[in-house]
Amino acid sequence: MTNNRNQGKVLTLVVLISGSGSNLQSIIDAIAAGTVNARIAAVISNRTDAYGLERAANAGIETIVEPHQQYSDRKQYDQVLARHVDSFSPELIILAGFMRILSPWFVTRYSGKILNIHPSLLPKYKGTNTHQRVIDAGETEHGASVHLVTEQLDGGPIVIQARVPVERDDDVESLRKKVLEQEHLIYPEAIKLFAQGRVRTE
C-alpha cells in the first residue's frame, strides 16, 4: 500500500472467485508491487473448496463463502451476493474465474463496474471449454480478453486482449497454461486502466 501513496485515490475492489484464484494472485501481487493503485476489500467465493480463498487469507484479505446450492433461483442468490458486495462499497467488482452467470438484476445494479476475464479472443469462443474448441477448430491463434460485464454473456465491451499462437502440438493443458500466463498480465493492466479513469463506455 505504501507504494501507492503518491498515485491519487486507491480503487476499492471486491473479487469474486470459484476456483484456483491464480488471477486473483496476479492482482494481489500487482497491488503489492505498487503497479496497480487498488485495494482488495474482500474475496467472495461460491465454492467452499476454492483455493483462491487460501490465497486471499495469506494476503490478509477478508473472505466470504456463499455457496449457491441453497438458493433456488439466480436472482435470489445474486441479492445475497449484492448484500455482501455492498458492505464493502467497492468501486469495481472483479470476476476472476467466478463460474456463475450473473442475473440481469445484478449486472444492471453494477453497470459499468464489473470486469470479467475470459479465456478466448472474444467475441470468438464465448462460454466454456474454449481451449478444446479452439483446437477442434484448427485455430492458429488464441488468447484472453478482459471485458466489462453486460447482460450479454461474455459479450460486453472489451478492455484489453492478449494473443498466443496455437502450435501443432498444443493440447488443452498447454494452451490453458499459455493463456493463463497472459491473463495474469492483462487483468492487473485492465484494473490499472480502470483506476486511472481510462475505461468507460460510450
Q: List interacting residues with ligand GAR (CB under 6 A).
A: 17, 19-23, 52, 96-97, 117-119, 180, 183
What cell was used for 95?
470476476
What cell was used for 7?
498515485
Q: Residue 101: what are its φ and ψ, rounded to 5°?
A: -80, 130
Q: CB 193 → ligand GAR: shortest distance, Å?
A: 18
Residue with cell 467488482: 93
Taking alpha carbons only, the member of 115, 96, 119, 114 closest to residue 21 is 96
- By Cβ distance, which residue is nearest to ligand GAR? 97
Residue type at position 161: Q
Catalytic residue among 84, 118, 131, 184: 118
Residue 108 CA to residue 118 CA, distance in Å, equals 20
Distance, CA of 4 to chain centre: 22
Residue 89 CA to residue 41 CA, distance in Å, equals 9
Q: Is 118 a catalytic residue?
A: yes
CB atoms within 10 A of CB 182: 18
Residue type at position 166: V
Residue 182 CA to residue 190 CA, distance in Å, equals 12
Residue with cell 494452451: 175
Which residue's CB is nearer to ligand GAR, number 11 or number 15? 15
Question: Annotated active-site positions, please?
Answer: 118
